[in-house]
């Protein structure tokens, strides 16, 4: 069974990724490698860690689905028998840190040289622009999975690349541009992707 999320990203079971020989080669420091985890897994772990330590309250929103048919078997839980994936109208993660509203989208790419902008929906860009207007913090967390590199990119920088595409320019952001405008996050053990300390720089 495979699950296709509305963003077109295919759900890949952990086992499959772990046995990928190309990935194995890169993992020199096993304890800090991503061990086949998706970026979503890593961010959920990180947010749980922040929550436990009282550092922030940030959650991933549920995948939006349109429920069409539900059955009620006797003596057991209701079963959804027909439903469809809906396009998300916002970003995936939001919450509160240090009195500030936090809002971000997380995406990974297997690409080694650039981040394709087709990974982001136009309404997500509009959403983040509105968040900024209301003085919330908006950003992206991007993982280059093949390179084991993570970046936090403030929305303003990202918006520039988006607008460049809308004006007929390139349909991706180069790794060099992300290195220049974002901040690299070095993955660790606890928390996995320690993005909170970087947010002070965005305020």
* Phi, psi angles (nearest 5°) of residue 160: -60, -45
- Beta bridge partners, 10, equal 4
Distance, CA of 85 to CA of 80 (rounded, Å): 13
Establish how many alpha carbons lie within 13 A of residue 113's alpha carbon, considering only the half-sphere containing its beta carbon. Answer: 1
**Numbered residues of the known binding site for Mg(2+):** 90, 92, 105, 124
Question: Cα–Cα distances in Å, from 44 out to 51, 89, 102, 178?
Answer: 10, 20, 15, 23
Among residue numbers 143 through 182, which ones bind its own copies (CB under 8 A)? none
Among residue numbers 71 through 130, which ones bind its own copies (CB under 8 A)? 72, 77-86, 89-90, 94-103, 127, 130
Q: Is 54 in the site for its own copies (CB under 8 A)?
A: yes
Least Å distance, CB 79 to its own copies, is 6
How distant is the alpha carbon of residue 27 from its chain centre? Answer: 22
- Quick one: 77 or 189, whose CB is closer to its own copies? 77
Q: Considering only 106-114, 133-141, 154-162, 178-186, which stretch makes contact with its own copies by CB under 8 A?
A: 133-141
| Binding footprint of its own copies on the chain (CB under 8 A) | 1-4, 51, 54, 56-57, 59, 61-65, 67, 69-70, 72, 77-86, 89-90, 94-103, 127, 130-131, 133-136
């Amino acid at each position: 069974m495979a699950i296709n999320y509305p963003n077109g990203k295919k759900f890949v079971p952990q086992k499959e990724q772990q046995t990928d020989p190309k990935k194995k080669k890169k993992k020199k420091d096993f304890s800090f490698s991503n061990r086949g985890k998706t970026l979503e897994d890593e961010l959920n772990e990180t947010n749980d860690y922040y929550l436990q330590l009282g550092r922030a309250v940030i959650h991933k929103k549920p995948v939006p689905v349109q429920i069409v048919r539900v059955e009620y078997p006797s003596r057991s839980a209701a079963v959804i028998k027909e439903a469809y994936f809906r396009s998300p109208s916002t970003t995936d993660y939001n919450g509160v840190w240090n009195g500030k509203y936090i809002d971000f989208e997380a995406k990974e790419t297997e690409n080694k040289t650039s981040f394709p902008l087709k990974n982001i929906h136009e309404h997500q860009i509009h959403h983040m622009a509105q968040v900024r207007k209301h003085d919330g913090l908006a950003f992206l967390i991007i993982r280059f999975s093949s390179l084991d590199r993570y970046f936090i990119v403030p929305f303003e920088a990202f918006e520039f690349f988006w607008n460049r595409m809308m004006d007929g320019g390139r349909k991706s952001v180069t790794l060099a541009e992300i290195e220049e405008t974002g901040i690299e996050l070095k993955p660790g053990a606890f928390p996995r992707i320690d993005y909170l300390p970087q947010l002070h720089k965005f305020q």
